[in-house]
Amino acid sequence: MGEPHEDLPELRELRELYGEPPPPRPSAAARVRARLDDERRRRARLPWILAVAAATATAVAVVVSTVPSTPAATLTGRSVLLAAATAAAAVPGKPAGAYWHVSRLRSDIRRIGGHQLVSERLNEQWATEDGRHWRGERDLGIRPRSPADEAAWRRDGSPSTWHGVALNTSPGKGGLAQVTGRAPFSIAGRDLTVAQILRLPGDPADLERRVRGMLPADAPEGLFADALCGLLWSKPSPPGVRAAAYRLLAGLAEVRYLGDSADERGRPGAGFSFTVRRSDAPVLRTLIIDPRTSQVLSSTDQGPGEEKRSELVLSAGWTTSEPSPPRVPAKPSPS
C-alpha cells in the first residue's frame, strides 16, 4: 500500500468545521477500494485528481460561506468567532501601564419629524489595580445623522432648533472626576475590581462556571452572552480570558452571525447579534468585531422602536497616560 499523501489545507479546514466523517458502510467501502485499485493503475492521473478534489473542497467552502439562512451559516459565524479567539490568545500578556483605559463614543439616534438626529458623547474610563477609578465625559453635540438629513436641515436654513430639538453641533467642555464608593466594573450588577478580572480563568469551562455563578438564578435570555461580550472590550480581561469568552460565544445558539458589517464610522468587521430579554422590553444587541485582531469595534442596542444607542470603541487597553479630560476625537479618514 502506498504512503498516504499529506492532507490538503482545504480538507483540514472542512474537518475543523464539521468534524471527522462517520465510518463508511461496508458496501461503500468496497466501492471506494475498487476505485482506488483502479486509480493506482493510473498513477499518472493522480495529480490531476488531487487538483480536482482541492477545487471541489474550495467550492464547498465558498457555498457554505454564502448561504446565510442554513446551519452552514452558523458554522461560518462560529469559525469567525474562533478565529477571533485565536487572535486574542496570541496577544502578549499585560503590557506596561498603570491604567486600564477605555475610550468610547456613545451615539443616541432618534427620529424627529421624519429625519434622524444623532447626539454624541465621549466617555472615557481609567482604572488601576489598586482600586482607583476615574471617569471623563465630553458632550459632542446633536446633529443630523445622514447626508440626506443634513441636506434637509440646511434647506430649512440650518436652524438652531429643528423640529423642536435644539441642535448644538459644537462640542462642550470635557470633564474628569475620580469615582469613589463603587467598583469600576460589574457583571449583572455584581461589582468587580481590576484585580478580580485579572484573576478570571482562561479555560472556557471554568470561565462559564464563574460567569454563570454571577448571574441571577432567573437570568433572562441573552444575559450570559451580554456578560461575555463585556469581557471582550470594556473590562481589563487577560488575553486568555478574552479568548475563552470568544469560544463560549461561538457555542451559543442565540448568537446570530450577520456577515460582513461596518460600524457608524465605516470601520469594517464581522457582525453578531443576540437579544437580551429585560423586564421592560427586549433589546437587540449587535456587536461588530475585527476577527483579525480580536478587537471589538462597536456595540449597539436597538429597542422596539427606531431609537438606538451605539458605542464605538475608540481605544481599549493599558496605558501609561494619566487620566485627563477627554479630547474631541479626530474625524475618521475617508475610505
Q: DSSP letters of 39-77?
A: HHTTGGGHHHHHHHHHHHHHHHHHHHHT-TTSHHHHHHH
- SS3 of residue 280 by DSSP: coil
C-alpha cell at 175: 470633564
pLDDT tens, 43-63? 444 443 334 334 433 333 333
As given in the structure block, the three cell numbers for residue 77 are 459565524
Phi-psi region of 83 (alpha: psi -120 to 50; beta: other; left: phi over 0): alpha
**Pairing state between β 161-162 and 308-319:** unpaired
pLDDT tens over the chain, length 335 residues? 443 444 444 444 444 444 444 454 454 445 545 554 554 555 444 443 334 334 433 333 333 333 344 455 555 899 999 999 999 999 987 777 899 999 999 988 888 888 888 889 999 999 999 999 999 999 998 888 888 988 988 888 888 888 888 888 788 899 999 999 889 999 988 999 999 999 999 999 999 999 999 999 888 889 999 999 999 999 999 999 999 999 999 999 999 999 999 998 889 999 999 999 876 788 999 999 999 999 999 999 988 776 789 999 999 999 999 999 999 887 655 44
pLDDT of amino acid 163: 83
Q: Residue 332's pLDDT is what?
A: 59
Instruction: Answer yes or no: are the C-beta atoms of 330 and 265 closer than 8 Å.
Output: no
Average pLDDT over all residues of the chain: 80
| Residue found under cell 476615574 | 134
**Cβ pair 259, 74 in contact under 8 A:** no
For 101-137, write each residue's pLDDT tens digit: 999 999 888 888 888 888 899 999 999 999 999 999 9
Q: Count other C-beta atoms under 10 Å from residue 300's C-beta.
A: 21
Question: By the 8 A CB rule, do 255 and 225 touch?
Answer: yes
pLDDT tens readout for residues 254-293? 999 999 999 988 899 999 999 998 767 889 999 999 999 9
User: What gap in Å lies between CA 35 and CA 235, rounded to an integer?
Assistant: 57
| CA 196 and chain centroid, separation | 23
Query: How much of the chain is in helix, strand and coil states, percent to nearest 5?
Result: 35, 30, 35
Please give the Cα distance from 12 to 257 (Å, whole number). Answer: 23
